Amino acid sequence: MSAPVLCFADAGEAADVAAFLGRLLHYDKAAAVRLRAEAGGQALAVFGRPPSFEVLAVRTARLLKPYENGIDDVLDVTVSAGELLDAVGSVSPVGSAGEGDPNVVVPGAVTGPPWAGVLPPRGGWEQVPGFPEAEALRGLVQAAVREFRARVEELAPEARTRAGLDALGREIWSREIGGSGVPVRLAHAAASLGFLRGERVDLLVAGVWARLRTPYGAVVVRRGLSGGLGGFGVAPV
């Protein structure tokens, strides 16, 4: 059976996915991503989990068609982020030396990490009113980064252990954003992954899940759980 082929709407869509994969690989050289595309649909969802943030990151891309060769099934596979980046990186703009081929052969499946088996729901999301705007979130993240660095400088050298730094980071990044019930970690992850640009940002919830959504991607956490994605407890929205 031939490997599924993704046909990106244009080279820009492929470049956005490539940038996302590159950021994931910056945090985890062995990163895996889960790909989902509905049969007959024109959108690809790429899920990843940067380990530094304990969130699920989602980047979508427009497709001309989900597969070649008339395959009817949904695409739902976990693959190596590095192998997918190599494949997506071969997509070139129309008129370039690469002839503008938008097709990408999906790499072979890999054994998925535990997070890949638990994805947020597709529907049932409700917007949380009164969530801070993007500029305020960027300021919040910058202030938290400055605080972290300043407090690290205040530590005695013998106290700058991995456990000590992790505990300090947990204290700062687990603080709640206003009365939203989600941690600063969510905004930090969005900023670090290149999602927190422009002015549009929304917070949505569905059951135990919370999602910070921008036009450039989304980050998702599970609320009020002591394990799994997020790993923190927050008040319900």
Fold adopted by 5-117 = DNA Polymerase III; Chain A, domain 2 (3.10.150)
**pLDDT score, position 130:** 93
Residue-level pLDDT, tens digit, the chain, 237 residues? 678 888 888 888 999 999 999 999 999 999 999 999 876 678 899 999 998 888 999 999 998 876 554 455 688 999 999 999 999 987 755 444 445 567 888 999 999 899 998 899 989 999 999 999 999 999 999 999 999 999 999 999 888 999 999 999 999 999 999 888 899 999 999 999 999 998 999 999 999 999 999 999 999 998 764 333 443 322 222
**Residue closest to 3 by CA, chosen among 76, 68, 99, 47:** 68
Residue 108 burial (CB count, 10 A): 10
Contacts of 166 (CB under 8 A, 6+ apart): none
| Residue that has been written with the tokens 């052969």 in this structure | 105
pLDDT at res. 82: 96
Q: What phi, psi does 212 have (nearest 5°)?
A: -95, 115
CA dist., res. 170 & res. 174, Å (int): 6
For the chain, the structural domain boundaries read 5-117, 126-222
Please give the pLDDT value at position 84.
96
CA 225 – CA 233 distance, rounded (Å): 6
Instruction: Kindly report the pTM of this predicted structure.
Output: 0.85
Q: Output the pLDDT for position 228.
A: 37
Which pLDDT does position 66 carry in this prediction? 60
- Tokens for 230, please give them: 């997020």
Q: What is the model's pLDDT at position 89?
A: 81
pLDDT at 64: 81
Through-space distance between the first and last CA atoms of the chain, rounded to whole angstroms: 47
Parallel, antiparallel or unpaired: strands 32-37 and 202-206: unpaired
Q: Could you tell me the CA-to-CA distances from 67 to 6, 14, 37, 46, 72 in Å, in that order? A: 5, 15, 9, 15, 8
pLDDT score for 127:
95
CA distance linking residue 171 with residue 32, whole number of Å? 28
**Contact, 90 vs 121, CB < 8 A?**
no
Dist. CA 9–CA 16, nearest whole Å: 12
Tokens of 93: 């703009």
